[in-house]
Amino acid sequence: MHTPIYLVLANGTVLEGESFGAVGDTVGEIVFATGMTGYIETLTDPSYYGQIVVQTFPQVGNYGIIGADFESTRPWLEAYVVREACEEPSNFRSEGSLDGFLKKYGVPGICGLDTRRLTKIIRESGVMNGKLTSKSPYDHLDEILEEIRSFRITHAVESVTCKRATVSVCEEERFHVVLMDFGLKENIKRSLMARGCTVQVVPAHTSAEEILALKPDGIMLSNGPGDPAENIEVIATIEKLLSSGVPMFGICLGHQLTALAAGAKTIKLKYGHRGGNQPVKDLFSDKVYITSQNHGYAVDSSSLPPQVGTVSHINLNDGTCEGVRYQGIPVFTVQFHPEAASGPQDTQYLFDEFVRLMEREGKQ
Amino acid sequence: MPRNQEIKKVLVIGSGPIIIGQAAEFDYAGTQACRALKEEGLEVILVNSNPATIMTDRAMADTIYIEPLTIEVLERIIQIEQPDSLLSTLGGQTGLTLSMQLAKSGFLEQHGVKLLGARAETIDKAEDRQLFKETMQSIGEPCIPSQVVTTVQGALAFAEEIQYPVIVRPAFTMGGTGGGIAADPTELREIAGNGLRLSPITQVLIEKCISGWKEIEFEVMRDAKGNVITVCSMENFDPVGVHTGDSIVIAPAVTLSDKEYQMLRSAALNIISALGVEGGCNCQFALHPHSFEYGVIEVNPRVSRSSALASKATGYPIAKVATKIAIGYTLDELTNAVTGVTSACFEPALDYVVVKFPKWPFDKFVYAARTLGTQMKATGEVMAIGTSFEQAIMKAVRSIELGLDSLRMPKLAAYSDVEIYSLLNVCDNERAFVVYEAICRGISYDEIHRITKIDRWFLAKLGKLSAMEGSLRQETLEDALYRKAKNMGFLDSTIQTLSGQEIPKKRFASYKMVDTCAGEFEAQTPYFYSTFDEENEAAEFIQKQGSQKKKVIVFGSGPIRIGQGIEFDYCSVHCVWALKKAGYEAVIVNNNPETVSTDFDTADRLYFDPLTPEDVQSVIETEKPDGLVVQFGGQTAIKLSKYLKNGSVPILGTSPDNIDAAEDRKRFDALLESCGIPRPKGLTVFTTEEALRAAETLGFPVLLRPSYVLGGQNMIIAHSAQDIEEYMQIITATELDNPILIDQYLMGKEVEVDAICDGESILIPGIMEHIERAGVHSGDSISLYPAQTIPHKIVETICAYTEKLSKALHVIGLVNIQYVVFEEQVYVIEVNPRSSRTIPYISKVTGVPLVELATRAMLGEKLAEMGYGTGLYKKASHVAVKVPVFSFEKLHDVDTHLGPEMKSTGEVLGIADNVHDALIKGLVAAGYQLRGRGGVFITVRDSDKQEILPIAKKFADLGFILYATKGTAEILFAHGINTSFVHKIDEAAYNPITLIESGNVHYVISTSAKGRKPARDSVKIRRKAVERSIPCLTSLDTANALADCLASSRDISTVQLININSI
Stated length of chain B: 1063
Torsion sign across C-alpha atoms B112, B118, B121, B127: negative
Final residue before a domain boundary, out of A129, A153, A177: A153
Contacts of B349 in chain A (CB under 8 A): 34-36, 56-57, 275-277
**Angstrom distance (rounded) from CA A84 to CA A57:** 9
The answer to whether B886 touches B903, Cβ cutoff 8 Å, is: yes
Q: Searching chain A, which residue's CA lies closest to the CA of residue B214? A: A91
The partner residue sitting opposite B225, judged by closest CB among A34, A62, A286, is: A286
> For each of chain A's 364 residues, which pLDDT tens digit applies?
579 999 999 999 999 999 999 999 999 999 999 999 999 999 999 999 999 999 999 999 999 999 999 999 999 999 999 999 999 999 999 999 999 999 999 999 999 999 999 999 999 999 999 999 999 999 999 999 999 999 999 999 999 999 999 999 999 999 999 999 999 999 999 999 999 999 999 999 999 999 999 999 999 999 999 999 999 999 999 999 999 999 999 999 999 999 999 999 999 999 999 999 999 999 999 999 999 999 999 999 999 999 999 999 999 999 999 999 999 999 999 999 999 999 999 999 999 999 999 999 987 6
Q: Is the pLDDT of residue B712 over 70?
A: no
**Angstrom distance (rounded) from CA A181 to CA A219:** 11
**Angstrom distance (rounded) from CA B421 to CA B441:** 9
Q: Among A115-124, B317-326, B664-673, whose mean pLDDT is lowest?
A: B664-673
Which of A21, A51, A360 minimizes the C-alpha distance to A226?
Answer: A51
Q: Is the pLDDT of residue B708 over 80?
A: no
| A193 shares a domain with A262 | yes
DSSP-derived 3-state class of residue B750: strand
Integer angstrom CA distances of residue B828 from A277, B656, B677, B794, B810: 60, 21, 7, 13, 17
Q: Are A317 and B343 an interchain contact pair (Cβ–Cβ within 8 Å)?
A: yes
Final residue before a domain boundary, out of A88, A120, A153: A153
Q: Is the pLDDT of residue B763 over 60?
A: yes
Q: Is the pLDDT of residue B970 over 60?
A: yes
The answer to whether B615 touches B543, Cβ cutoff 8 Å, is: no
* Total structural domains within chain A: 2
Q: Among A166-180, B365-379, B760-774, whose mean pLDDT is lowest?
A: B365-379
Which segments of B105-177 does DSSP mark as H helices, in order?
A: 107-110, 120-127, 129-138, 152-162
Between these two residues, B733 and B316, which has the higher pLDDT value? B316
Domain spanning B681-738, CATH architecture: 2-Layer Sandwich (3.30)
Q: Is A339 a catalytic residue?
A: yes
Chain A, 273 to 312: residues with Cβ < 8 Å from chain B are 275-279, 281, 286-288, 290
- Predicted confidence band of residue B373 (pLDDT cuts 50, 70, 90): confident
**Angstrom distance (rounded) from CA B995 to CA B1000:** 7
Res B755: pLDDT: 97
| A178 shares a domain with A75 | no
Res B703: pLDDT: 86
Mutation target among A18, A32, A34, A291 for the B interface, most CBs of B within 10 A? A34
Res B365: pLDDT: 85
CATH number for position A12: 3.50.30.20
**Angstrom distance (rounded) from CA B931 to CA B949:** 21
Amino acid at B149: V
Q: Is the pLDDT of residue B452 over 90?
A: yes
Amino acid at B925: A
Angle formed at CA B72 by CA B71 and CA B75, multiple of 5 degrees? 80
Res B747: pLDDT: 85
Q: Is A36 on the interface with B (CB under 8 A)?
A: yes
| A351 shares a domain with A209 | yes
| A139 shares a domain with A103 | yes
Res B990: pLDDT: 87
Q: Is B221 on the interface with A (CB under 8 A)?
A: no
Contacts of A33 in chain B (CB under 8 A): none
Domain boundaries B653-679+746-876, corresponding CATH code: 3.30.470.20
DSSP-derived 3-state class of residue B611: coil
Q: Among A72-86, B525-539, B681-695, whose mean pLDDT is lowest?
A: B681-695
Contacts of B231 in chain A (CB under 8 A): none
| A174 shares a domain with A137 | no
Q: Is the pLDDT of residue B348 over 90?
A: yes
**Shortest Cα distance from A22 to chain B (angstroms)?**
23
Stated length of chain A: 364
Contacts of A344 in chain B (CB under 8 A): 262, 265-266, 347
Q: Are A69 and B350 an interchain contact pair (Cβ–Cβ within 8 Å)?
A: no
Burial B303-340 (b: 16+ CB within 10 A, else e): bbbbbbbbbbbbbbbbbbbbbbbbbbbbbbbbebbbbe
The answer to whether B227 touches B344, Cβ cutoff 8 Å, is: no
Q: Are A116 and B455 an interchain contact pair (Cβ–Cβ within 8 Å)?
A: no
Q: Are A63 and B256 an interchain contact pair (Cβ–Cβ within 8 Å)?
A: yes
| A183 shares a domain with A126 | no
Q: Is the pLDDT of residue B700 over 80?
A: yes
Final residue before a domain boundary, out of A153, A176, A203: A153
Query: Which residue of the set A176, A295, A313, A337 is catalytic?
Result: A337
Integer angstrom CA distances of residue B998 from A37, B153, B991, B993: 56, 19, 10, 9
SS (H, E, C) B814-827: EEEEEEEEECCEEE
Q: Is B349 on the interface with A (CB under 8 A)?
A: yes
Q: Is the pLDDT of residue B144 over 90?
A: no
Q: Is the pLDDT of residue B374 over 90?
A: no
Contacts of B291 in chain A (CB under 8 A): 92
Average pLDDT over chain B reads: 93
Name the percent of chain B lying above pLDDT 90: 77
Instruction: Please compute the mean of the pLDDT values over residues B510-536 and round it to a whole number.
Output: 95
| A286 shares a domain with A181 | yes
The partner residue sitting opposite B346, judged by closest CB among A91, A120, A290, is: A290
Q: Is A142 on the interface with B (CB under 8 A)?
A: no
**Shortest Cα distance from B562 to chain A (angstroms)?**
36
**Shortest Cα distance from B588 to chain A (angstroms)?**
24
| A55 shares a domain with A39 | yes
The answer to whether B1014 touches B367, Cβ cutoff 8 Å, is: yes
- Predicted confidence band of residue B726 (pLDDT cuts 50, 70, 90): confident
Q: What phi, psi does B143 have (nearest 5°)? A: -110, 170
Q: Is the pLDDT of residue B711 over 60?
A: no
| A343 shares a domain with A330 | yes
Fold (topology level) of B9-116: Rossmann fold (3.40.50)
- Predicted confidence band of residue B922 (pLDDT cuts 50, 70, 90): very high
Per-residue pLDDT of B401-417, as tens digits, reads 999 999 999 999 999 99
Q: Is A252 a catalytic residue?
A: yes
Contacts of B389 in chain A (CB under 8 A): 59
| A351 shares a domain with A202 | yes
Res A281: pLDDT: 97
Domain boundaries B356-368+383-499, corresponding CATH code: 1.10.1030.10
Chain B, 370 to 399: residues with Cβ < 8 Å from chain A are 387-389
The answer to whether B146 touches B209, Cβ cutoff 8 Å, is: no
**Angstrom distance (rounded) from CA B11 to CA B621:** 45
Q: Is A162 a catalytic residue?
A: no
- Predicted confidence band of residue B176 (pLDDT cuts 50, 70, 90): low
Res B62: pLDDT: 97
CATH 3.40.50.10490 fits B929-1047, yes or no: no
* A306 cis-preceded (ω within 30 degrees of 0): no
Report how far Cα B1049 is from the mean position of its chain's Cα atoms.
35
Q: What is B804-855 written as a DSSP string? A: HHHHHTT-EEEEEEEEEEETTEEEEEEEESS--TTHHHHHHHH---HHHHHH
Q: Is the pLDDT of residue B3 over 90?
A: no
**Angstrom distance (rounded) from CA B945 to CA B296:** 55
Integer angstrom CA distances of residue B300 from A251, B998, B1063: 37, 35, 37
**Shortest Cα distance from A266 to chain B (angstroms)?**
22
Res B929: pLDDT: 87
Contacts of A95 in chain B (CB under 8 A): none
Per-residue pLDDT of B41-74, as tens digits, reads 999 999 999 999 999 999 999 999 999 999 999 9
Q: For chain B, how many helices (H) and strands (E)? A: 35, 39
Q: Searching chain A, which residue's CA lies closest to the CA of residue B264? A: A344
Using CB atoms within 10 Å of the CB of residue B256, give its burial: 0 to 12 exposed, 13 to 18 middle, 19+ buried: buried
Chain B, 593 to 632: residues with Cβ < 8 Å from chain A are none
In the CATH hierarchy, which top-level class contains the domain B510-645?
alpha beta
Using CB atoms within 10 Å of the CB of residue A117, give its burial: 0 to 12 exposed, 13 to 18 middle, 19+ buried: middle
Q: Are A290 and B518 an interchain contact pair (Cβ–Cβ within 8 Å)?
A: no
Which of B86, B48, B83, B87 minimizes the C-alpha distance to B68?
Answer: B48
Res B212: pLDDT: 87
Q: Is the pLDDT of residue B709 over 60?
A: no
Q: Searching chain B, which residue's CA lies closest to the CA of residue A94? A: B257
- Domain hosting residue A285, numbered range: 157-363
**Angstrom distance (rounded) from CA B955 to CA B1036:** 13
Start-end of CATH 3.40.50.1380 domains in chain B? 929-1047
The answer to whether B566 touches B532, Cβ cutoff 8 Å, is: no
| A355 shares a domain with A284 | yes
- Predicted confidence band of residue B2 (pLDDT cuts 50, 70, 90): confident
Virtual torsion, Cα B655, B658, B662, B667, nearest 10 deg: 160
Per-residue pLDDT of B271-309, as tens digits, reads 999 999 999 999 999 999 999 999 999 999 999 999 999
DSSP-derived 3-state class of residue B560: coil
In the CATH hierarchy, which top-level class contains the domain B125-354?
alpha beta
Res B175: pLDDT: 57
Predicted TM-score of the model (pTM): 0.94
| A300 shares a domain with A188 | yes
The answer to whether B99 touches B115, Cβ cutoff 8 Å, is: yes
**Angstrom distance (rounded) from CA B201 to CA B188:** 19
Using CB atoms within 10 Å of the CB of residue B996, give its burial: 0 to 12 exposed, 13 to 18 middle, 19+ buried: buried
Q: Is B535 on the interface with A (CB under 8 A)?
A: yes
β-strands B380-386, B353-359: how paired? antiparallel
Q: Are B258 and A58 an interchain contact pair (Cβ–Cβ within 8 Å)?
A: no
